[in-house]
Amino acid sequence: MKKLLIISLTLCTINIFAQNNTKSIKNNNTDFKYRVSFPAIILGNIGKGGERTNTQHFEFHIKRELDSKNIIGIKFATWRLFQPMGIQWWDGLKDKIDSETEFYPGYLRETGLGFSYQRMLWKGLFASVEVLPQYKTYSDLNNKKIANGFKLYTSYHLGYHIAIGQKKRIFIEPQIHCQNWMIDTNTPEAFKQIDNRWKTYFLFEPNLYIGFKL
């Protein structure tokens, strides 16, 4: 987790300073109305193979500009959790990973297809909300399925859109977001006992999205 965080923050910082003379994207450009993007954090899983803490995270976004301010999209995401998502930074998140004290007796795979709305606020500054219904699959350490369930996952983002290149088709979006999951069903008892010690939300996750316009 710490490695992924460092990768995201480093990429974010390098690109912001490298593009400090780049003009903000002009959203009234009629040539490219579609965007595809993914979070740079998923690159941190490459080469981890079957490691216990490999989240096997994959995420992909397709968005459509309605006008210069409003952007809608669809989101596909899947990941594997080895401990509760509701452990906050100030709860000793990194320590919990190192000590393995809050690890599940198996894994939780969450997969969903949802939608997003992004609002441009000022120049490249934006706010967005994403809603992701998820199908949950619980398995033991031998990857034998235990149970299925449903979760409604929502996230709230504040970030900045930085366009790169002569035609401004490539972009990065450093951002910070918070997420919650108030609807969460059919959790096996052994997993629920660990979940109940923590929150049903996570605050202030930094991230960096990379994409291009079509």
Confidence bin at 50 (pLDDT 50/70/90): confident
The pTM assigned to this predicted structure is 0.83
Q: For the residues 53-66, what does the mean pLDDT come to? A: 96
For the domain covering 2-21+29-48+56-213, report its CATH number: 2.40.160.20
pLDDT tens digits for range 169-210? 999 999 999 999 999 999 999 999 999 999 999 999 999 999
CA 170 to each of CA 34, 59, 124, 147: distance values in angstroms, whole numbers, following the listed order: 12, 18, 14, 41
For 106, left (φ over 0), alpha (ψ -120 to 50), or beta? Answer: left
Give the number of residues written for the chain: 214
Break the chain into its structural domains and give their ranges: 2-21+29-48+56-213
Q: Are 156 and 148 in contact (CB under 8 A)?
A: no
